[in-house]
Amino acid sequence: MMSMSSPVRAAQFSYVGLEVNAETIVGHYDLDGERFRETVLLENPGGQNAAGVAALAELWYLIAGLSYYKAGAARQIDLGDTPVGVHGRALFEAALFEGLGEFSFRNDLPLDDVTIVGGRDVAPVAVTVSSHEVLTPFGGGIDSCVTVTQLSPAINQALFVVSPASGRFAPLEATAAVTGLDVVRASRQLDPKILERNPRYFNGHVPVTTMVTMLAAVCALGLGRGGVAMSNEHSSSAPNLRWRERDINHQWSKSWTAEQLIGAAIAERVGNDFVVASFLRDRSEIWVAQQFAAASQFHDVFRSCNRAFTQSASERMGQWCGECDKCLFINLVLAPFIARDRLASIFGSEPLANASRAEQVSSLLAIGLDHKPFECVGDPDESAVALARVAADPAWADVAYLRELATLVAPDRSFDELLSPQGPSRVPAHWLR
**What are the pLDDT digits (tens) for 78-91?**
999 999 999 999 99
Reply yes or no on whether the pLDDT at 359 is more than 70: yes
What integer pLDDT is reported at residue 314 of this predicted model? 67
In terms of residues, how long is the chain? 433
- How many angstroms separate the CA atoms of 135 and 26, rounded? 22
Nearest to 392 by CA among 335, 354, 343, 347: 335
Tell me if 329 is assigned to some domain.
yes
Q: Is 123 helix (H, G, I), strand (E, B) or coil?
A: coil
Q: What does the mean pLDDT of the chain come to?
A: 94
What integer pLDDT is reported at residue 213 of this predicted model? 98
Task: Give the count of domains, the chain.
Answer: 1
Confidence class of residue 2 from pLDDT cuts 50, 70 and 90?
very low
Reply yes or no on whether the pLDDT at 268 is more than 90: yes
Nearest to 139 by CA among 185, 171, 172: 172
Instruction: Find the domain containing 315 and state its range.
Output: 285-418
Percent of the chain topping pLDDT 70: 96
Confidence class of residue 169 from pLDDT cuts 50, 70 and 90?
confident
What integer pLDDT is reported at residue 3 of this predicted model? 41
Stretch 391-410: mean pLDDT: 96
What integer pLDDT is reported at residue 266 of this predicted model? 98
pLDDT tens digits, 285-310: 999 999 999 999 999 999 988 776 67
Residue 322: what are its φ and ψ, rounded to 5°? Answer: 70, 10
User: DSSP assignment, residue 168?
Assistant: -
Element (H, E) at 19: strand 12-20
Q: What is the pTM of this model?
A: 0.95
Say how many C-beta atoms besides its own lie within 10 A of residue 433's C-beta: 8
Tell me if 297 is assigned to some domain.
yes
What integer pLDDT is reported at residue 5 of this predicted model? 60
What integer pLDDT is reported at residue 379 of this predicted model? 94
What integer pLDDT is reported at residue 196 of this predicted model? 86
CA atoms within 13 A on the CB side of 328: 24
Stretch 382-393: mean pLDDT: 96
- How many angstroms separate the CA atoms of 285 and 291, rounded? 10
Tell me if 216 is assigned to some domain.
no
What integer pLDDT is reported at residue 1 of this predicted model? 39
Tell me if 242 is assigned to some domain.
no
Reply yes or no on whether the pLDDT at 313 is more than 80: no
User: Which residues touch 139 (CB under 8 Å, ≥6 apart)?
Assistant: 172, 231
Tell me if 275 is assigned to some domain.
no
Nearest to 134 by CA among 283, 278, 297, 302: 278
What integer pLDDT is reported at residue 367 of this predicted model? 86
Tell me if 331 is assigned to some domain.
yes
Q: Is 219 helix (H, G, I), strand (E, B) or coil?
A: helix
Tell me if 186 is assigned to some domain.
no
Percent of the chain topping pLDDT 90: 88
What integer pLDDT is reported at residue 316 of this predicted model? 67
Tell me if 353 is assigned to some domain.
yes
Confidence class of residue 370 from pLDDT cuts 50, 70 and 90?
low
What integer pLDDT is reported at residue 254 of this predicted model? 98
Nearest to 370 by CA among 240, 204, 251: 240
Element (H, E) at 116: strand 115-117
Lowest mean pLDDT of 60-69, 151-160, 347-356, name the range. 347-356
Residue 202 near residue 69, CB atoms below 8 Å: no
